[in-house]
Amino acid sequence: MRVTSVLGIKYEDTATDEKFVRFFKLVQQQAEREGCVFFMDSGEGREIITEDLDGEDASGC
């Protein structure tokens, strides 16, 4: 199911994961500094999991 509540995230299960959304907001902040928006296509491994964040290397455009 596609959602638009988090710019750059396509699927509801990802967009509702609070720890991942925190991680992805950091990704979007960096993309914004470079004048871009990052649209995630898929995870590539090398996970980072902390008490506050849950993310991994990602591919997209």
- Give me the tens of pLDDT residue by residue for the chain, a chain 61 residues long: 444 467 787 777 778 888 888 888 888 898 899 998 888 766 667 888 889 888 877 766 6
Per-residue model confidence (pLDDT) at position 33: 93
Number of domains in the chain: 1
What is the extent of the structural domain holding 26? Answer: 12-55
Tokens of 41: 């296509």
Q: Domain for residue 1, yes or no?
A: no
CB neighbour burial string for 11-46, b if at least 16 within 10 angstroms, e if fewer = eeeebebeebbebbeeebeebeeeeeebebeeeeee
Q: Sign of dihedral through CA atoms 4, 6, 9, 15?
A: negative
Q: Domain for residue 60, yes or no?
A: no
